[in-house]
Amino acid sequence: MYGTKDRDMKRRRSGWLAASLTGAMLLALVSCGSGGENKNLFSSQEDSSRVVDLFSPMEKADPKAENVARTAADLTVAMAEEALGVTVVYRTYTAADHQDKTYDEVCLDRARNDMDDLYLLNPDTIMTLGAEGKLMDLSGLDSAKDLREVVRTANTVDGKLVAIPQEVVAYGLFLNQTMFDRYELALPETPEEFLECCRVFQENGIDTPIGANRWWLETFVFAQAYAELYNSGDTEAKIAALNSGEARYSDYMRPGFEFLQTLIDRGYIDAEKALVSEAIEGEREDFLAQRTPIVMAYWGAANTETAYGKTDLELQVIGFPSILGQMPVISMSGWAVGAESAHREDAMKVIDIIASDEALRIYAETNRVISPSQNVKVDCVPALQPLKDRIEDGVYVLGSNAGMKVEQWGNTCLIVRDLLGGATVDECMAAFDALQDESLGLA
Amino acid sequence: MKQRSNRRKDRSGRALLLSIVLIFCVLGAIVYTVARKASQEMSSSAIQNLSESLDLLQCTIEAILNNEAEFQGVIAQELARTEDPEGYILTHAGNQMMTKLSLVLTGRTEGVSNTGEPFTAEGLDFSAGGTVKGMPVSRSYLNHMGTWAYTIKCPVEREGQEIGTLYVEYIYDAIDRSLPQEGFYNKQATLYIMDAESERFVLKPKGMGQRSAGHLDLNDFYRANDIRDLEIRAEVEQCLEEGRNALFYHDIRSTNALNYMWSVNRGTIFLVGYVPVDAIQQEGRTVNQNIIIVVTAMLIAFSLCVLLYYLSWRQQELLRREQEQERRLHDQQLTHALQAAQIASSSKTTFLSNMSHDIRTPMNAVLGFTTLLARDAEDPAKVREYTKKIMASGQHLLSLINDILDVSKIESGKVVLNFEKFALNDVIASVDAIIQPMAKAKGQEFRVEVTGVRHEYLVGDETRIDQILINLLSNAVKYTPEGGKIWLRIVGLKQRSSQYEHIRIEIEDTGYGMTQEFLQTIFDAFTRAENSTTNKVQGTGLGMAITKNIVELMGGTIDVSSEVDQGSLFQVDLELRIQEDQIDRAFWEQRGISRILAVDKDPEVLEDMRALIEETGPHLDTASAVAEAVALIQGGAEHQLVLLDWETAVSDSPQSAGALRAALPSTVPVLLLAEHDAKGTEAALQAGCSGLLTKPFFVSACREKIQELWADTKESSRTPEKNDTLARLHLLAAEDNEINAEILAALLAIEGADCEIVENGLLAVERFQQAGPGTFDAVLLDVQMPVMNGHDAARAIRSLPREEAGRIPIIAMTANAFAEDEKAALDAGMDAHVSKPLDVELLKKVIRRCMERRIGT
């Protein structure tokens, strides 16, 4: 009996030993395998990749990087890279502070010197570069066919569609509903109601009810200036009057500037702080800490966690106060191609893909924003519903309009900064008059 | 010895374990040292590798800067030779390297640029003091093209006199084009160019990056890459100030990386970035992996060897333990065997000593009384007394010899049970007949009780059952003092099978009892309770061993419990097959008995009677009192037999038996059931009771009694006096022993028989052959005889060619008393077997039966 067991055990041990030795031999054989037989050890790989230089304020996420949430724009660019076999090379610029050149200034410099192929441009830059003929006409692209009319209008310069946005950026007032409820304040419709709200807040110890930065205070101005221009009919005629000099921009702008002046004078806005604050960075902390009940921001900020996408307070986004009630201000950053850029053909193809309905759907669903394509509609967070309702009702003003000879978005921003810096409303209006005169060739 | 061996084994096991641990430690230390050395060398190699790469980049950039400066010097010389330097500037177009040329003539604050625009040096900051080939280089700035640039200025001298300053703007994009387009370290290295003065990143990786990668300036780089170590940051600051290189380890996004700040152009700009260590040490990683594989393989191989060794060792250890255990067991068995042998030897010595005593005692009586007999031969009274005592002593000797032979036969496994039909009543009756007188002689009360037995006709070895009961009961009588009590109980247990009666036999006494120690060996042969009281009792000490062996041979069990001076209880459980044919049923039917009335105050007894009687056919009515029985009879119930318990009748009234008799028809017999020593039964018998049955009740006893009462009993009865006599018989006997021959002749002569004795079998055959027909009535043959033994003689007689040879009774007469001896005799053609010493009565019966059988045939 024991003998049989012994024999079995020995047989098993021998099996193990044999298996181990076989494994060791295999390992040795694998490790001693010979390499290739080429004498020239260098294997050349021709770099045949096509490159499109893209200039934007954003870094591109490394596709191989782990745990990095890719932005909506990245996703669409990746689509283009895959479809076209090109590499979109990002060149970026971020101003360190307000003393640095702005992104827009750098954009202008780079586009004028044909430094890049593809640019993400703000409305004023689009207007400027379009007027200078530095941007390609994109109207022939397939992706341009389904654009909303407002988008087409805002980006057409001298009959050329010079930029296509990936989202329609709607600016609004971001309000702390809890604080409004606490002081039994209705959401303001008109400038007067807005001032009353600010007064009540201030009386209740909130010294500066409005958080502001050096970029977006102009939205108050646009809402009051162009509420009637865009929403009471004869818009084209009114714009034509402005372009011909029959009507003065300063007349449209004055109520808005006076309103801003009032806000500054009453201390509802800290002008000094606003003048050196970057967008969101300057006011976000106070708003989230419920020290400031009112800030202004764009639609996407309500979805972005680094902005106001995740707050402990009850957020509500409404239009800016105007004579016609809450008024969303629409602006569009768009993709444009340098007219003399080195890889403009590939850049055009890239835009055609990133502005396609498929890409725009991805973009809109990722960021939950209003798409420039009339074929793409997505839901929004509840806080944005009042703003969305107004836009869907067709009630809004454009922050930039390529049909106006005087660029609006950039100029107004700069003149508002003058106001923040201490200029009077009259001086600001004079600046508008000067710009209009210059556009008319009277300067 | 064993402890020392165990300690040695423990020490050896510990030494082995320590050796293995030591080998592992040494191996681990070697691997650790090699790995550590490899790691250090790889780290040094990585640092050297990266330093060389960065040196290469540094040299490249410095070469570009130097070229730019040299080129600028050439332009300045050209300008110095030109009559209209500003015009020369205007005619000079910019290129990819030099984006802007400007000249400010000495004494002016504004100059011209090649773009045609006026130029002032106000926006340029040369305060940092950086130079290229002695020419001041400005702080980096974002130029009119929206890209980072720097300006180098150099004086324009004509004939040793400075006529102006040449400012040339260079863009970092030109340097970027000179750097490896695919990056370095397989695109895994991150490379920024930082302006030392402003700490701004003026050139950064394009086409790839990490979100929030910290591409703005040094602080942004620290923030994004989580470089918080103040020591490192201070060291870096120091290097920046002094224009030295810095290289340090810091994890970037959980990846071990080498971070660098590499000074270019004596610290005016720095190469900043990081490289994952793995990217530099790719081959090192492979080497490490291979080392790990080799070490793992070695460890596995070593562990395998250790495991195999351990398994082998364990197997050997197991084997050794088993062998040791086996040896120990063997030793134990040997010890036990030795002890058993010693005990057996001791027992047998004791036994022999006892036997010597026990045999010599009656032998002494035999011889002593024989001497006395010779002396007092003339006194018939003394002769009868002496012969009686000699007979008693002889009987005792015979029982001793029988027991000895019996136990030796059982021990050798030669006992064969003889299964025959028997009635339980016969067993009890025969035992009672033997024990009752013995008990009575010692003034003891002996009672027999039967309860719960459903079947009394059983199959089994009646003789052996008798032997069991007699052994146990005779012991009880022996070991119970005078006046004690002894019970024999037969208890019917629950049947395990319908074919077997399960009975328990209990023998209880109020005797001396036994110690617990003795109870352990009571069933061993050659043991006998020894104390001052019992050592007066004669016995072989074999009775219990014989009893136990017989019980077990029958498939039963025997248990004993006892307390000293309290008594003992033996319990024997047996299963005996029930007889299939019910002879009683026909008996009752023949006599027209279908209904019996039993009167007993004990309901249990009645129930037992019902079970026994109804099992054989008749219906039993019961009454607990005589009056109740009378009422039943007067009520019209017809019974053909009445069984009346004497105690019940006496407890009712002394005349109750008569009353019952009077109530019954005269043809119906009334049988009294009474203990064997019941008193007053004669009166009842005179009052009309038909007969007396000794309790306990058995159908077979009842049947016998009825047979006696009825005339048919006379048919089978014989007059033994006539049949048992051997008068006028002429017998031929063969006996080689003269004394035995003489005794035989004398005994037969006493019985009136004439016996002719020859010395051996052959003579017997010859004598029978010679004798005329009818000369002999029977032949008695000893078995062991010289010349021809009894068996051969019987065969020879049977084979003789004469009519008488086949039928003359031949009876074996031998000291070989076993069953197989009897069988051998019958096989040889003999008719019967009588064992020696001769029992004359038995011999008479056997001779007569054989003769009758021969006559019958």
What's the pLDDT tens digit per position in B8-20?
666 766 777 788 7
Rounded-to-integer distance, Cα B657 and Cα B659, Å: 5
Nearest chain A residue to B204 by CA: give it. Answer: A91
Sorted by sequence, the CB contacts under 8 Å of residue B246 that are 6+ apart come out as B235, B236, B239, B260, B261, B262
Rounded-to-integer distance, Cα B715 and Cα B692, Å: 21
Interface contact A375, partner B, CB < 8 A: no
pLDDT at residue A37, rounded to an integer: 54
Average pLDDT over residues B324-346: 83
Q: Tokens at residue B251, please?
A: 């994890």
Chain A: nearest CA to B578, how far in angstroms?
A: 48
- pLDDT score of A63 more than 50: yes
Interface contact A190, partner B, CB < 8 A: no
pLDDT in tens, B584-593: 677 888 788 8
Query: Mean pLDDT, chain B, as a whole number?
Result: 82
Rounded-to-integer distance, Cα B439 and Cα B437, Å: 5
pLDDT in tens, B296-309: 888 888 888 888 88
Whether residue B311 and residue A9 make contact (CB cut-off 8 A), yes or no, is yes
Q: Tokens at residue B545, please?
A: 């061993």
What domains sit in chain A, N to C, each tagged with a CATH number? 9-169+331-380 (3.40.190.10), 170-330+404-439 (3.40.190.10)
Rounded-to-integer distance, Cα B472 and Cα B435, Å: 10
SS3 for B455? coil
CB B260 within 8 A of CB B246: yes
User: How many CB atoms are located within 10 Å of the residue A156 CB?
Assistant: 19
Overall pTM surpassing 0.95 (yes/no): no
Chain A: nearest CA to B128, how far in angstroms?
A: 19
Nearest chain A residue to B144 by CA: give it. Answer: A109
Please state, in angstroms and as integers, the Cα–Cα distance from residue A303 to each residue in A58, B471, B508, following that order. 18, 110, 104
pLDDT at residue A227, rounded to an integer: 94
Whether residue B322 and residue A2 make contact (CB cut-off 8 A), yes or no, is yes
CB B219 within 8 A of CB B226: no
Which of B143, B206, B211 faces A61 most closely, judged by CB atoms?
A: B211
Best A27, A54, A87, A90 residue to mutate vs chain B (most B CBs within 10 Å): A90
Maximum separation of any 2 CA atoms in chain B, in Å: 199
pLDDT in tens, B207-236: 544 445 667 788 888 887 888 888 888 998
Whether residue A109 and residue B315 make contact (CB cut-off 8 A), yes or no, is no
Please state, in angstroms and as integers, the Cα–Cα distance from residue B419 to each residue in B293, B408, B554, B556, B698, following that order. 84, 22, 10, 15, 21
SS3 for B614? helix
Q: Is pLDDT larger for residue B801 or for residue B539?
A: B801
Sorting pLDDT into bands at 50, 70 and 90, what band is B857? very low
Nearest chain B residue to A114 by CA: give it. Answer: B145
pLDDT in tens, B460-495: 888 888 888 888 898 898 889 888 999 999 999 988
Q: Which residues of B touch A106 (CB under 8 A)?
A: 142, 146
Q: Which residues of B touch A68 (CB under 8 A)?
A: 210-211
Best A5, A10, A20, A112 residue to mutate vs chain B (most B CBs within 10 Å): A20
Query: Mean pLDDT, chain A, as a whole number?
Result: 85
Nearest chain A residue to B171 by CA: give it. Answer: A115
Whether residue B209 and residue A27 make contact (CB cut-off 8 A), yes or no, is no
Rounded-to-integer distance, Cα B439 and Cα B475, Å: 11
SS3 for B314? helix
Q: Which residues of A touch B217 (CB under 8 A)?
A: 96
SS3 for A384? helix
Rounded-to-integer distance, Cα B163 and Cα B108, Å: 10
Which of A115-124, A304-313, B213-222 shows the lowest per-residue confidence on average (mean pLDDT)?
B213-222
Tokens 């490159």 sit at which residue? A51
Chain B: nearest CA to A100, how far in angstroms?
A: 9
Q: Which residues of B touch A91 (CB under 8 A)?
A: 206
Strand order in the sheet with A50-56: A86-92, A50-56, A118-121, A334-337, A164-165
SS3 for A400? coil
CB burial class (10 A; 0-12, 13-18, 19+) of residue B615?
middle
